[in-house]
Amino acid sequence: MGKFFNTVAIAAIGTALITIRKKSKEKQKEERRKNMRCEFVDGFSQEEFNDAALAAGKRIKRLYDLHTDGPYVYGSVRSQSGLSTWQFMIDFNDYGHVTGRYWVFSDNYDSVIPKVVAERIKSSIESI
């Protein structure tokens, strides 16, 4: 019985090491993507991106601030009660290009507002 448990333990350790290595590679890949300097050279200018972001936020009543900084979109949203606010950031830097792929970071992952804004901007990017 001892050999069986040793084999199981070795297999579990091996699986854990593989998982750690995969996560490490994913983290490195994500860091490389984030650290690439994004330039608007693919037919979609910074001004068009800014305009797309502002247009994406229109008609969302609880969204009270939306601005861009390069390929990043920052938004502030009033809670449903109106007593507090929360923020989100949408990262459109896809290895130095604005392709329509995005990553959302939010204080409130239950809300669809950041995704709605991101999808509207994505549509604008893909239409050009």
- Across residues 22-49, what is the average pLDDT? 81
| 70: nearest Cα among 34, 105, 17, 116 | 34
Are 106 and 114 within 8 A, CB to CB? yes
What local confidence, expressed as pLDDT, does residue 117 receive? 98
Residues 75, 67: Cα–Cα separation, whole Å: 7
Query: What's the pLDDT band for 36 if we cut at 50, 70, 90?
Result: confident
Region for 22 from its dihedrals, namely left if φ exceeds 0, alpha if ψ lies in -120 to 50, beta otherwise? alpha
Query: What's the pLDDT band for 114 if we cut at 50, 70, 90?
Result: very high
- Across residues 87-113, what is the average pLDDT? 95
pLDDT of 45 higher than 70: yes
102: Cβ–Cβ under 8 A, 6 or more apart, which residues? 90, 91, 92, 94, 118, 121, 122
What local confidence, expressed as pLDDT, does residue 3 receive? 64
When the pLDDT of each residue in the chain is averaged and rounded to a whole number, the result is: 86
Residues 18, 41: Cα–Cα separation, whole Å: 38
What local confidence, expressed as pLDDT, does residue 74 receive? 98
